[in-house]
Amino acid sequence: MATAPLIEFRQVTKLYGSGEATIRALDRVDLVIEKHEFVAIMGPSGSGKSTAMNILGCLDVPSSGQYLFQGIDTTAFDRGQHTLLRRYMLGFVFQGFNLLARTSAIENVELPLVYRGMEARERRRLAQIALEQVGLAGREHHTTQELSGGQQQRVAIARAIVTSPAVLLADEPTGNLDTKTSREIMELITGLNREHGITVIMVTHEEDIAAYAGRHLRFVDGRLDHDSTNSGAATHVL
């Protein structure tokens, strides 16, 4: 029996508003993403890429159609089930880092494990490992104000991977970073995909950042306009 794809959209449509003011943010999108892929979602402003990411992350639900995760239809989930899927299967990295101020790096990384009810000593051990993975050993007790932008994004990535998620969802992960730091962050994300097998789905409007991904999905006017393989992924220099 064939294994179900990791992620599948079946005729996913998302509407906002009503009547003549209705906005069709997504229009009957079909999409399959397999385990271990690194996918970049692109498109102009208003194309539907952010709406697609919100649905992928169970932060929103389709107006019609189905979103299947490992063959299970998530559109039938209630709020609690969506929360559990996010907590146990998904990791999130945002442009704005979204770290707790005046809180140490290791405490920020521990937070998802607190929500799981994990014992304090085990939380600390796993958070330490995650910080080492992103190159921040020795910075565990620095607060966010004591870290550079690139270091803060590394903390955010450590927080996203500390739960060993199946999927890392990255929304413009280098949007607030300079070119050199952007390269470092993208090499880190690429390593998580290639060496640790984490499926990465990244929204970006920057071609040089998208070039790290092995597959490009381009949205236009709420539809998946182009789906292509990038054979030169991660071989370029910013």
CA distance linking residue 91 with residue 95, whole number of Å:
14
pLDDT surpasses 70 at 121: yes
CA distance linking residue 80 with residue 62, whole number of Å:
17
159 touches 130 (CB < 8 A): yes
Give the pLDDT confidence of 213-235 residue by residue, as tens digits: 999 999 999 999 999 998 776 54
Give the contacts of 89 (CB within 8 A, at least 6 positions apart). Answer: 69, 165, 166, 167
Most confident of 1-10, 94-103, 155-164: 155-164
Give the contacts of 86 (CB within 8 A, at least 6 positions apart). Answer: 57, 58, 59, 92
With CA atoms as reference, report the closest residue to 184 among 149, 214, 159: 149
pLDDT surpasses 70 at 105: yes
| Residue 3: predicted pLDDT | 85
- Rounded to the nearest integer, the mean pLDDT of the chain is 93
Return the H-helix or E-strand segment holding 28: strand 23-33
| Residue 234: predicted pLDDT | 56
Q: Where are the domains of the chain?
A: 7-229
DSSP state of 29: E
Q: Phi and psi at residue 30, in whole multiples of 5°?
A: -105, 135
* Fold for the domain defined by 7-229: Rossmann fold (3.40.50)
Helix or strand or coil: residue 157?
helix
Q: What is the mean pLDDT of residues 22-46?
A: 96
